[in-house]
Amino acid sequence: MKHVKGRLDESILVCVYYGLNGERLIRRGHKMAMMLDCPLYILSVDSQPLDAFDAEKSGYIEQWKDLSEELDVEKFILLDNEKRPIQKVIAEVAKNYGISQIIVGQSAQSRWEEITKGSFLNVLLKEVPFVDFHIVAVQRPTEDDTYDTYEKGVRAYLIKDQDNFKIAFTCPRYVSIEGIFFKEIGTDFDNGIFKFTYNDKMHEIHITEGLVNDKEKLPVEFTSPLRQ
């Protein structure tokens, strides 16, 4: 049961984009929300659909969702497959949730850096003139932080192979799980991570030499005997 906030005339929206500073921004917003005893919302926007996210993006989304639950955030808002200008999206969310303060990070690696440009702020202020903005300076990630572990994701399928599941890259004619496979860099085998969406939630399965490691993480309906 969520804590009933004392001030409903104030509400804070934290805008996060992929990078190491998302958690810092969320915790900054949480600290402000605790001081004001008001609701806190988290927003992430992406032009790609959820099932096309790479391993890094999916990891950040799951991390932010978990942190939102830990901090008793009012709502984590993920808007995927979003083609509108980002200021339009922020403005709409601010209006829908009665936001009075918005926190964004200034980072050379982030789309949110556009907010530091006068033109962006001018447009956004016209859209939501009732909102106060907090632009938080963040550190740039180091080369080690941006090191990629996986190759670009490719569409793949998990199919039943006796008592296990194996990965395939052509669409089978019988029941399977469709998703995106991210192969580990520097391996000749099909080792990596398979991501798929089920019940509107992203799931992650580890693959070793083409076979599923953690079959218990698959939905029950897929681990029961499959219809050919």
pLDDT in tens, 148-181: 567 777 888 888 877 788 899 887 777 678 888 8
Of the residues 106, 137, 168, which one is the last residue of a structural domain? 137
* 142 in a structural domain: no
Whether 107 shows a pLDDT value over 70: the answer reads: no
User: pLDDT band at residue 98, thresholds of 50, 70 and 90?
Assistant: very high
Q: Are residues 131 and 191 in the same domain?
A: no
Q: Are residues 127 and 159 in the same domain?
A: no
Q: Are residues 186 and 93 in the same domain?
A: no
DSSP 135-198: EEE-PPPPTTTT---BPPPEEEEEEEETTEEEEESS--SS--EEEEEEEBTT-SS--EEEEEEE
96 in Cβ contact with 127 (< 8 Å):
no
User: pLDDT band at residue 113, thresholds of 50, 70 and 90?
Assistant: very low
* 216 in a structural domain: yes
Q: Are residues 129 and 165 in the same domain?
A: no
Q: Are residues 25 and 124 in the same domain?
A: yes
* 1 in a structural domain: no
Q: Are residues 72 and 97 in the same domain?
A: yes
Give pLDDT tens digits for 2-49: 555 666 688 999 998 877 678 888 998 999 999 999 999 999 999 999
* 106 in a structural domain: yes
* 6 in a structural domain: no
Segment 60-70 shows an average pLDDT of: 91
Q: How far apart are CA 103 and CA 83, in angstroms?
A: 22
Q: Are residues 121 and 23 in the same domain?
A: yes
- Share above pLDDT 90 across residues of the chain, in percent, rounded to a whole number: 24
Count of domains in the chain? 2
* 165 in a structural domain: yes
Q: How far apart are CA 59 and CA 133, in angstroms?
A: 27
Give pLDDT tens digits for 67-88: 999 999 999 999 999 998 888 8
DSSP 100: -
Q: Which residue has the tokens 């860099």?
A: 185
* 228 in a structural domain: no
Q: Are residues 129 and 197 in the same domain?
A: no
The whole-number pLDDT of residue 221 equals 66
* 148 in a structural domain: no
Residue 22 belongs to domain spanning = 12-137
Q: Are residues 126 and 168 in the same domain?
A: no
Of the residues 110, 137, 164, which one is the last residue of a structural domain? 137
Q: Are residues 129 and 163 in the same domain?
A: no
Q: Are residues 45 and 96 in the same domain?
A: yes
Q: How far apart are CA 156 and CA 212, in angstroms?
A: 13
CATH number of residue 79's parent domain: 3.40.50.620
Q: Are residues 98 and 201 in the same domain?
A: no
